[in-house]
Chains A and B, each alone.
Chain A
Amino acid sequence: MASPVMHARGPRKPARYFSVLPRSPAFWFLIPAIAALAIIGIYPLLLALYNSFHQYKLADLASGTPFVGVDNYIATLTDPTFWEALGRTALFLCVTLPIEVALGLFAALLLHRTELPWMRAAARVSLVIPMATTYAVVGLIGRLIFNRQFGVANYLTGLIGIPPQDWLADPTLAFVSVMIMDIWQWTPFCALILLAGLSMVPKEAEEAARLETPKWSMILWHLQRPYLLPGLTAILILRSADMLKMFDAVFTMTRGGPGAATEFISVYIQRVGFRLFDQGMASAQAIILLILTIVLSRLYIRFVYREAA
């Protein structure tokens, strides 16, 4: 239902954003939500922007909060620890995401087959559990499973002859442990998205293809692939944004350690802001992270939303 006011005036006067809105009921429906998000979402960002140009050390407020220009940004961009945290996040993404997509595709193909309806239903329902598990608790479960003395991970690797490891004390193994928990939690997400793509393939085309060839890989590549691509793009961008956000599970599992082996970007910024108490520096880093996020969300809108809409 289009507001008649808008259409009568729209083409003649190049109206500015929302200029005629107050006359439309839409304005009154929207304004509470917009106001709320502006106050809690935009105002703090502006404050962060302001703080990022000032020295703001909570442990040293006696020396005031003088304007320091782009010093915080220069310090951030020349800080090797910042780049290491960002690089570590990128590495984590590059290793974890392909595994999650591959395992997710495997699960989706199994769930897409028509046989064994009861087993399929049970497996599908079980996928909900990892996704619903509180991230902080995922980290705690990780600490339990990868415990050096009594962890079940050592028991399971022992069955295939690998000697027990001190998973969370070794930098590489700690990274791998966090990866395994992330793969556990997010593979179901990939599986369900890809399953949704598979179910878009027309039934007749799929049956015809099955008569043509018994090879599932042929069907996957020639018939199902185009239906999987929008979901894959969504997975790629959303998981990238999630990795930039990743904090809870890492914090409870390793606190970023040992050393800085699992200190991802959000964990690092949290440490600078709340353990080193340098709010100015943390603000500059947060703004840089925000810019990365905005780029990602623009990509998401461009590649996923336009296609889906």
Chain B
Amino acid sequence: MQGTQRAKRARAARKRATVWHFLGLVVVFMSSVFPFYWMVTTSLKSQADALAYPPKWLFSPTFHHYSAALFEHDVASSLLNSLIIASSTTVLAILLGTPAAYALARYEFRGKEDLWFWFISNRMVSPVVLAVPFFLIATKLDLVDTHIVLILLYLTFSLPIVVWICTDQFRNIPVELDEAARLDGASPWRVFWRINLPLAMPGIVVSAIFAFIFSWNDLLYALVLTRSDAITSPVAATSYMSGYELPWGEIMATGTLIVLPMVVFALAVSGRLVQGLTMGAVK
């Protein structure tokens, strides 16, 4: 009799726990999504609906702000600039970074640890530290407001991320493959290029996505080093701020255009997001 009562109580407790678990997960989901949801819905509201108080939860959507932002405010060309800059820096980072990562994974040499740590510490440097001198260099070389200066600057964080993730990836490739190829007379470069690089592709793709996201998201460097021709989309998004009455629909349409592709990319690498953000120290 007592036994069944205890079992009943335990079952009730488990049920309560599940209810709390459910509610907790709902809160996590809602709070993660809400600001993003608010941005997207505001971009679809007419100005009157966007400025309504209390806020409107139901409204008839309009895509007017997207065309206004893209073509009247010329966000289209800033998105194109962002695309050019972020993909160029990603390609460069992969070209320079994968051989370095391979060497760090496969060879032993003096100073390897220090080199590794030097790569790591690059990620922690505040952009403002480099922005100050880089602005002077760019001014002297007449590179302000060009794509190339941002492509190079973004290497300071995209190259380390490629090196970190790819070193890990190369370490997971059995070294016996290298040895067998060497015995067959393949040069070190051939071993890298023909055997290791294809096998490391998953890691390379992940690191490329990270390099792209970080470059795409930067504001400070772009703010300091671009004027009009080369402005990236985050700079374009801040340029609405000068007016008196803010076109919130257009601002949020611009924000959505910037963020949406990054969310898609981040979801694609969500399994390795922590690894990418902690430089592989925590998996």
Q: Which residues of A contact B (CB under 8 A)?
A: 1-3, 6-7, 10, 15-21, 24-26, 28-30, 32-34, 36-37, 40-41, 44-45, 47-48, 51, 106-107, 110-111, 113, 115-116, 119-120, 122-138, 140-141, 144-145, 149-150, 152, 154-155, 158, 181, 184, 188-189, 191-193, 196-197, 214, 230-231, 234, 238, 241, 244-245, 247-248, 251-252, 265-266, 269-270, 273-274, 279, 282-283, 286-287, 289-290, 293-294, 296-298, 300-301, 304-305, 308
Contacts and interface: CB of A to CB of B under 8 A. Distances in A.
A126 B266 CA distance: 11
Interface of B: 13, 18, 21-22, 24-26, 28-29, 31-33, 35-36, 38-39, 42, 50-55, 92, 95-97, 99-100, 102-104, 106-111, 114-115, 117-122, 124-137, 152-153, 155-156, 159-160, 163, 175, 178-179, 182, 188-189, 192, 213, 216-220, 223-224, 234, 237-238, 241, 248, 251-252, 255, 258-259, 262-263, 265-267, 270, 273-274, 277-278, 280-283
A32 B266 CA distance: 29
Given A40-B156, A44-B130, A244-B126, A127 B32 contact: yes
A30 B105 CA distance: 11
B39 A127 contact: no
B21 A231 contact: no
A241 B124 contact: yes
A135 B220 CA distance: 10
Chain A at the B interface: mostly helix, strand, loop or mixed? helix
Residue from B119, B128, B258 whose CB has the most chain A CB atoms within 10 Å: B128
A160 to B, nearest CB: 14
A281 to B, nearest CB: 10
B277 A131 contact: yes
A132 B18 contact: no
B220 A247 contact: yes
Contacts of A138: 35
B224 A18 contact: no
A286 to B, nearest CB: 4
A32 B117 contact: no
Residue from B110, B220, B274, B282 whose CB has the most chain A CB atoms within 10 Å: B282
A41 B157 CA distance: 10
A270 B131 contact: yes
Given A110-B21, A305-B281, A289 B126 contact: yes
Contacts of B277: 131, 189, 238
